């Protein structure tokens, strides 16, 4: 059961971030920190299908993570879901065409291993 | 007003803005999670089979509502950052939250930090440093149209 929660938490969260990133990129660079700019961004977020789907997938991931915490220790749940860092990077490279050079790969692997270490 | 003027210029994507935004995302995320944790103390144990009634109780809890509000602000900041940053940049950069949490726990709560935990914090810090050197965007030009 706990591996099902792990799978849903990691995969739904990664796909959610992928969809959100894809949707937000189509808005173009936002520098607005005025209320009118923020209102415009919120209108975009709540009407863009990919962003909404991304938020929904992240909500599923969040509830699944709570479920995981109810059947396992924090010291299992936190490091195992750090796999999400790797999966997000792989998905961003494949589907968003982001250029992941050796520094990014090394950085994200170090982060994932570091999360594993602080949780044991 | 500076904030009004900057909307009319294409500024170079500054390191300061990247770091400020990451710090804002991380701090609001940690604060939101802390509020949620405080709120769940007064709730029954989570059980998927009674998800609806659990959510009903949770949504009447002031701490949890405050936590959700703060997490929503954090999420908005992250979505905004994704309009000018790669996902493969933002995601590892937000892992600096682990460093923030560990240092706060050590300084303010006197939590003991084992050698292994310090090693983990060191690896995360080094990883975040490496990713920060790659710059926020590889997909499209700063100020240019979206892909």
What is the structure's pLDDT at B12? Answer: 53
- Chain B positions touching A53 (Cβ under 8 A) are none
Highest mean pLDDT among A4-18, A60-74, A106-120, B91-105: A4-18
**Does residue B57 sit in helix, strand or coil?**
helix
CB contacts < 8 A, A to B, total: 160
Q: Band of the pLDDT at B45, cuts 50, 70, 90?
A: confident
- Chain B positions touching A92 (Cβ under 8 A) are 86-88, 91
Residue B23: give the domain boundaries. Answer: 15-132
CB contact under 8 A, A111 and B124: yes
What is the structure's pLDDT at A64? Answer: 93
What is the structure's pLDDT at B13? Answer: 53
Mean pLDDT of A11-20: 97
CB contact under 8 A, B88 and A85: no
Smallest Cα distance from A28 to chain B, Å? 5
B125 within domain boundaries: yes
What is the structure's pLDDT at B109? Answer: 75
Residue B76: partners with Cβ closer than 8 Å, 6 or more residues away: A38, A41, A42, A45
- The whole-model pTM stands at 0.84
What is the structure's pLDDT at A88? Answer: 97
Q: What is the residue-averaged pLDDT of chain B?
A: 81
What is the structure's pLDDT at A69? Answer: 84
* DSSP code for B94: T
Mean pLDDT of A5-23: 97
DSSP element (H, E) containing A51 = helix A49-71
- Chain A positions touching B95 (Cβ under 8 A) are 85, 111, 114-115
Q: Band of the pLDDT at A1, cuts 50, 70, 90?
A: confident
B143 within domain boundaries: no
CB contact under 8 A, B120 and A20: no
CB contact under 8 A, B82 and A89: no
How many domains does chain B fold into?
Answer: 1
Which of B45, B47, B138 faces A98 most closely, judged by CB atoms?
A: B138
Residue A39 has pLDDT above 70, yes or no: yes
CB contact under 8 A, A104 and B134: yes
Nearest residue to B134 (alpha-carbon basis) of B15, B49, B9: B15
What is the structure's pLDDT at A10? Answer: 97
- C-alpha distances in Å from residue B66, one per residue of B22, B39, B56, B57, B73: 21, 9, 15, 14, 11
B105 within domain boundaries: yes
CB contact under 8 A, B131 and A32: no
Rounded Cα gap, residues A12 and A1, in angstroms: 16
The mean-pLDDT minimum among A5-19, B56-70, B103-117 falls in B103-117
CB contact under 8 A, B89 and A104: yes
Q: Band of the pLDDT at A32, cuts 50, 70, 90?
A: low
B77 within domain boundaries: yes
Mean pLDDT of B134-140: 81
């Amino acid at each position: 059961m706990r591996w099902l929660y792990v799978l849903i938490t990691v995969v739904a969260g990664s796909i959610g971030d992928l969809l959100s990133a894809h949707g937000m990129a189509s808005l173009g660079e936002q520098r607005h920190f005025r209320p009118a700019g923020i209102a415009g961004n919120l209108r975009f977020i709540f009407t863009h299908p990919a962003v909404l789907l991304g938020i929904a997938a992240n909500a599923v991931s969040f509830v699944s993570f709570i479920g995981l915490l109810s059947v396992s220790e924090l010291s299992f749940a936190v490091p195992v879901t750090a796999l999400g860092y790797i999966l997000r990077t792989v998905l961003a490279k494949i589907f968003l065409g982001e250029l992941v050079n050796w520094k990014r790969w090394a950085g994200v692997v170090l982060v994932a291993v570091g999360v594993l270490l602080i949780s044991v | 007003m500076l904030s009004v003027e900057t909307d009319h210029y294409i500024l170079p994507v500054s390191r300061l803005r990247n770091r400020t935004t990451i710090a804002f995302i991380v701090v609001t995320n940690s604060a939101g999670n802390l509020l949620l944790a405080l709120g769940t103390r007064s709730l029954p144990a989570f059980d998927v089979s009674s998800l609806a009634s659990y959510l009903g109780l949770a949504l009447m809890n002031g701490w949890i509502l405050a936590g959700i509000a703060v997490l929503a602000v954090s999420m908005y900041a992250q979505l905004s950052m994704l309009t000018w940053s790669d996902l493969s940049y933002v995601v590892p950069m937000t892992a600096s939250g682990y460093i923030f949490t560990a240092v706060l726990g050590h300084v303010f709560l006197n939590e003991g930090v084992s050698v292994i935990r310090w090693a983990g914090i060191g690896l995360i810090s080094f990883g975040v440093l490496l990713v920060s050197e790659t710059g926020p965007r590889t997909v499209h030009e700063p100020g240019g149209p979206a892909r």
